[in-house]
A = this chain, B = another copy of it.
Amino acid sequence: MDAEQLRECGHRMVDFVAVTNPSRPSPSSAKCRHPGYLKELLPDTAPSKPDTLEALFYDIREKIVPGVTHWQSPNYFAYYPSNSSTAGFLGEMLSAAFNIVGFSWITSPAATELEVIVLDWFAKMLRLPSQFLSTALGGGVIQGTASEAVLVVLLAARDRTLRKHGKTSLEKLVVYASDQTHSALQKACQIAGIFPENVRLVKADCDKNYAVAPLAISDAIATDLSSGLIPFFICATVGTTSSSAVDPLPELGQIAKANNMWLHIDAAYAGSACICPEYRHYLNGVEEADSFNMNAHKWFLTNFDCSLLWVKASEENSVFDFKDWQIPLGRCFRSLKLWMVLRLYGVDNLQSHIRKHIELAKHFEQLVISDSRFEVVTPRTFSLVCLRLVPLASDQDNGRKLNYDLMDAANSSGKIFISHTILSGKFVLRFAVGAPLTEEQHINAAWKILQDLATKQLLGSP
């Protein structure tokens, strides 16, 4: 890059993005709410001659931004958060400036080295057992996403098992998890060639806030063993996608150990909370896990993508070639942004960031409880509240339409954005607090929108 051109355009882009942070979380204009909207606004072919940066800014402002779902808006409460921050943004800039490809140590020593160091820092923040540190035989690596993390360890477990039982025994391998486990596990199984009928998604226990019952897992394993199948992998979740349930790690660890199975822990969302001493107990039992994963790009102020995976067993090797720890060959300098987040905020502030969102979610939960038309469907654990409008006893679809319409009206307004899930057949609204700019005023405003829409809906609109 020519330094002067980069400097001039870079400054203009900084000014542009500093004012491009809409409070509206989702496309509200009808013109952007249908598939193909952008095709109507852009030409059919790439230009032969250069356009100006000014022309690009115009198109971004007028055509792109209106069609973006703004995950950074303080009024965004859907799915789980995808945090950005000044530090994370600066880290992305620096990483883009280097633009190295660190597939092996030699292709940029600093990239591999910083990753090892920062993952050790993070493991200590989470008080992971020392076997997960690079100083032992384990170590951490940055994956793109939690879905790649679970695939990587599933493949390691698969190949370890096939080496023992013979490579034609693939059809006998069985995977266990709760039915609340992220669908990424099923996708990973499909990629790895695990037979679909050998993926046991055991029904979670609705009396335990949708955590899995260990007995259900051990029963399934016993049945499969007696049928000559080979149980080899358990995936436990800390903070499920639907309702942030926490599976019982110590019991699952014992089951895995007794049966010589790989235990993976997916703490993609809730792992962040465990840097606070008062939430660390949710990781008790991680000692027995073979691998542990959390997404710094969810609720930890680090830009996408930055999914942290630790494994216990790795080859003894003074030089890490991270290409052998992941699905792709190429990889960029992702540790920079995490390092910058840790240094520019510090652990104390990062704990405050987590606590603030959990407090806001508690506040929202109280608001819901105070309105008898609504119910909190399953108790809040972290910063997610699962709620719904209570249907009349006579409501034949158990409030499905009632709550779908409420969500649709809220999202169509463009003022807030929420998502939904299904729990025990109930259509449930998910209100996840976690955008860095969200304050109490946004929670109160969002609640008023939901209340007003409920009033309108229950009375019937004119």
Give every chain B residue within 8 A of A3 (Cβ-Cβ). Answer: 18-19, 21
Q: Nearest residue in B to A10 (C-beta to C-beta)?
A: B14
A46-B122 in contact given A82-B99, A144-B328 (Cβ < 8 Å): yes
Instruction: Report Cα–Cα, A2/B436, bound state, in Å.
Output: 9
Question: Which interface residue of A98, A101, A105, A148 has the most chain B CB atoms within 10 A?
Answer: A98
A222 contacts B by Cβ under 8 Å: no
Instruction: Determine if B99 and A345 form an interchain contact, defined as CB atoms under 8 angstroms apart.
Output: no
A229 at interface, CB cutoff 8 A: no
Q: Are B60 and A94 in contact (CB under 8 A)?
A: yes
> Which residues of chain A in 84-124 are interfacial with respect to chain B, using CB atoms and an 8 Å cutoff?
84-86, 88-90, 92-94, 96-101, 105-111, 113-114, 116-117, 120-122, 124
Q: Could you list which residues of chain A lie within 8 angstroms of chain B, going by C-beta atoms?
A: 1-7, 9-11, 13-21, 27, 32-33, 35-39, 42, 44-51, 53, 55-56, 60, 63-72, 79, 82-86, 88-90, 92-94, 96-101, 105-111, 113-114, 116-117, 120-122, 124-125, 144-148, 151, 155, 159, 167-168, 170-171, 182-184, 187, 190-193, 195, 297, 303-305, 318-319, 327-330, 332, 336, 340, 342-349, 436-437
Q: How far is the CB of A432 from chain B (nearest CB, A)?
A: 13
Are A113's CB and B39's CB within 8 A? yes
Shortest Cβ distance from A109 into chain B, in angstroms? Answer: 5
In the assembly, what is the distance between CA of A89 and CA of B49, in Å?
20
CB pair B6–A110 under 8 Å, yes or no, is no
What are the residues of chain B within 8 A of A9 when measuring CB–CB? 86, 90
| Chain B residues with CB under 8 A of A72 | 1, 98-99
In angstroms, Cα B349 to Cα A367, docked, is 59
A171 CA / B171 CA spacing, docked (Å): 11
Shortest beta-carbon distance, A414 to chain B, in Å?
Answer: 13
Chain B contacts for A297, CB-based, 8 A: 330
Distance in angstroms from A293 CB to nearest chain B CB is: 13
Interface contact A340-B56, CB-CB below 8 Å = yes
Query: Are A105 and B347 in contact, CB atoms less than 8 angstroms apart?
Result: no
* Residues of chain B lying within 8 A (CB to CB) of residue A36: 113, 318
**Minimum Cβ distance to chain B for residue A289 (Å):** 22
Q: Tell which of B56, B117, B146 touches A344, judged by Cβ atoms closer than 8 Å.
A: B56
Contact in complex: B84, A97 (CB < 8 Å): yes
From the candidates B86, B101, B184, B195, name the one contacting A329 in the complex (CB within 8 A).
B184
